[in-house]
Amino acid sequence: MVKNKDKIMKRTARELSYIATQCRLNVMRMLAASGHGHVGGAMSAMDIAVALYFGEMNVDPHDPKKRDRDRFILSAGHKCLAQYAILAEMGYFDKKILDTYGSLNSRIPGHPNMHELPGIEANTGALGHGLSIANGMAAALKLQKLNSRVFVIMGDGELPEGSNWEAAAQAAKFKLDNLVLFVDYNGLQISGHVEDVLNMQPIEEKFKAYSWDTHIIENGNDMTQIIDSLDKINYTCEKPHVFIAKTVKAKDVVGGENNVAYHFWKPSPEQIQQTVDYLNQKADKLQKAMEA
């Protein structure tokens, strides 16, 4: 049987970075429409999410429920600006919907709703539930003898939720080697530094103790490092996989990087324009480099 991994059109790191820049522009478009949003965590997780959707997962915007698709669970549902930006860029829905962010009855609310939007696999937002949902999906896919994988993005500020550790034990017990968890380790959560709010270190050792296959990504905003990490996953090792990816909160937001005040941001039109200009320049540079 052809592995899902081999069905994907591989893109270069530069192409993926270009797409991530376009997706960050989509985030700014939603912020411009609403005047507010959880920008920090969306921007830190963006590169990982783009690498998954555009470079790794077997998914089809024209057939969002196809049986053998890979699944993506955004455990940290408040990062959904990233997911909406990507789904729109892939063609799951009309980009005009991005302009409804923040308005009543929008199909892209503040936390994702699987009943409103194709491509959303689970309603999330209450932290600490995505991994349990993913476990169930990964186990069911194995029972159905499908090669589909389940990818999860969790925030580092989510790790103190005890339910994650029940799920971690269960994933190992059921040998869910079709489950891949990314911890978006941007070091900050809603109210400060994660290690000050509730120190969960050493995280890699904790997952090891639960018999997971563990990895660190030193720069989780670097596409080459993300692609290389995805390429080294052994899907027959009988262990679930975790990547602790060090990222920058509010990555590419002018003046916002690594600043907890940008967890939920209410930008002025001038601040939006500054970041849009920066992102457009970055996209131009990447495009020229791709054409060279």
List of residues contacting ligand TPP (CB under 6 A): 40-41, 44, 76, 78-79, 125-128, 155-158, 184, 186, 188-190, 249, 263
Pairwise CA distance, residues 180 & 166, whole Å: 16
Residue nearest to ligand TPP (CB): 155
Using alpha carbons only, give the angle 19, 17, 151 rounded to the nearest 5 degrees.
80
CB of 151 to ligand TPP, least distance (A): 16
Cis? peptide before 202, omega within 30° of 0: yes
Of 125 and 256, the one with the shorter C-beta distance to ligand TPP is 125
Half-sphere exposure of 183 (CA within 13 A, CB side): 29
Q: Phi then psi for 185, rounded to 5 degrees?
A: -90, 80
CB of 245 to ligand TPP, least distance (A): 11
CB of 125 to ligand TPP, least distance (A): 6
Structure tokens at 70: 């890979």
CB of 26 to ligand TPP, least distance (A): 18
Whether the CB-CB separation of 153 and 48 falls below 8 Å is answered with yes
Of 158 and 213, the one with the shorter C-beta distance to ligand TPP is 158
Task: Give the H/E segment covering residue 21.
Answer: helix 13-34
Of 127 and 226, the one with the shorter C-beta distance to ligand TPP is 127
Amino acid at position 37, single letter: G
Helix (H, G, I), strand (E, B) or coil at 188: strand
- Reduced to 3 DSSP states, what percent helix, strand and coil does the chain have, rounded to the nearest 5? 45, 10, 40
Of 190 and 276, the one with the shorter C-beta distance to ligand TPP is 190
Of 49 and 127, the one with the shorter C-beta distance to ligand TPP is 127
CB of 74 to ligand TPP, least distance (A): 11
Q: Phi then psi for 269, rounded to 5 degrees?
A: -60, -35
Helix (H, G, I), strand (E, B) or coil at 167: helix
CB of 108 to ligand TPP, least distance (A): 17
